[in-house]
Chains A and B, each alone.
Chain A
């Protein structure tokens, strides 16, 4: 057997590689994952667990109970100063001025063409008596350096009372605890009452007696928290969650979970050449509520004349699985491309995200996906593919 493509998370080697290249970065939880017999893979310069007990089993644990992910490879920034809001408002299409202390906004950094530099979350912690705003920013691992360079280039860091930028990426562990039982399991290790924290709410709390940042966010479509702590606390938290029977999950399940929830993967579903309006992220574009920002003219123009293509959800009508890069066909013509696709463990059917012309993007539209030279039927369906019961 030979792998079709290099970007698959599980590639089958012709012989095993017991010694991975040492140039790959490892998170502080690496040894704990190895101790759990995790299968490791290279992911944007990091040696990360792709699976522990199996992707389907891990996926189901998150849907039915609770799972945890080492996402310490993600970028973690702190912004502080009197002028943070004014400056970051210039970089995103969302109106961050609405955020109250303890609230957060999922949004995107845009280039002048309206393309997405990264998708990320801004967490507003509040303003102290000296007028210093505190913000936490969590970004994708693969884009941490790019985002940092963009922020340092576009933020005015001359007057440090107005704005300071701190990169805590290498110093912190980030663990996502996700699933219907996630909050209840995590609660026993946290001093503060987590139950009143709303979705996208967050707090500086006490994890195993130590300071930690807790946010009710995630990338699975389930309830849960993402917890940022010092490495030693992170290791203890991982072990404590294991003892509470929270199932360790790798990047494989993370991908199937986020795809069922129709959450975009940067570099695959969205990138520098796609705008948030094309990507179905119009809900985070607040043109009417805020002033200028980088990329605004392009989004205004797209809003006025409509986008040419849209990211849609596809459901395959047979067993064949549409994958990243496969052509989407209508009436014999290639009209688009699959950006993500997998067999959905929850639905038992093949699902995909794909860019198609706006005229072919309505729910119920019949299309075809070319798989290994043959065409297979697919239908545009509502996103997300999976929505949790509340």
Chain B
């Protein structure tokens, strides 16, 4: 089953994505990451008002066996957080690019995404040539 990487997103090689709408970025993790992690059992996210830094950890995701940092693609302030997921982290897998978003960040410098990957570049990275 081929995994999807929507064209309108920017991707990090550490498997987070950002969707830009105005000065707000919606941040989540990719279908590839979820497939690799397996059953997700724990999620830790920042609170609204917290600052996040490009390339820095903003939260934690755990599968049965693995603990992974979540890294922000952009610097800014957290304006929304998908808190229902904290009590049902397994639901993240159902819709990683929609209902499974993690945080929304008001960002300051869009050029921070200049080195982020396009959908095609990310697909090539995770699926190989």
B-contacting residues of A (Cβ < 8 Å)? Answer: 1-5, 8-16, 18, 50-51, 54-56, 252, 255-256, 319-321, 323, 342-343, 345, 350, 372
Contact = CB atoms under 8 A, between A and B. Distances in A.
A320 B86 CA distance: 11
Given A255-B65, A319-B87, 17 more contacts: A1-B71, A2-B68, A2-B69, A5-B67, A8-B65, A9-B65, A10-B66, A12-B33, A15-B13, A16-B126, A16-B127, A51-B38, A54-B38, A55-B63, A55-B65, A252-B65, A343-B64
A70 B89 CA distance: 30
B71 A2 contact: yes
Given A4-B69, A323-B67, A10 B15 contact: no
Contact of A13 (B16, B36, B38): B36
Q: What band does the interface of chain B fall in when counting residues whose beta carbon is under 8 Å from A? A: 20 to 34
B34 to A, nearest CB: 10
Nearest to A17: B128
Contact of A1 (B39, B65, B69): B69
B20 interface: no
Contacts of A10: 36-38, 63-66
The B contact surface, by secondary structure, is: mixed
Contacts of A5: 67
B41 interface: yes
Given A1-B33, A1-B61, A343-B41, A12 B66 contact: yes
A343 B39 CA distance: 10
Contacts of B69: 1-2, 4
A312 B82 CA distance: 36
A256 B41 CA distance: 13
A85 B71 CA distance: 58
17 contacts: A1-B61, A1-B69, A3-B68, A10-B36, A10-B38, A10-B65, A12-B33, A18-B128, A50-B65, A54-B39, A55-B63, A56-B39, A320-B42, A321-B42, A321-B62, A343-B41, A343-B42
Given A54-B38, A372-B60, A8 B67 contact: yes
Interface string B80-113: 0000001100000000000000000000000000
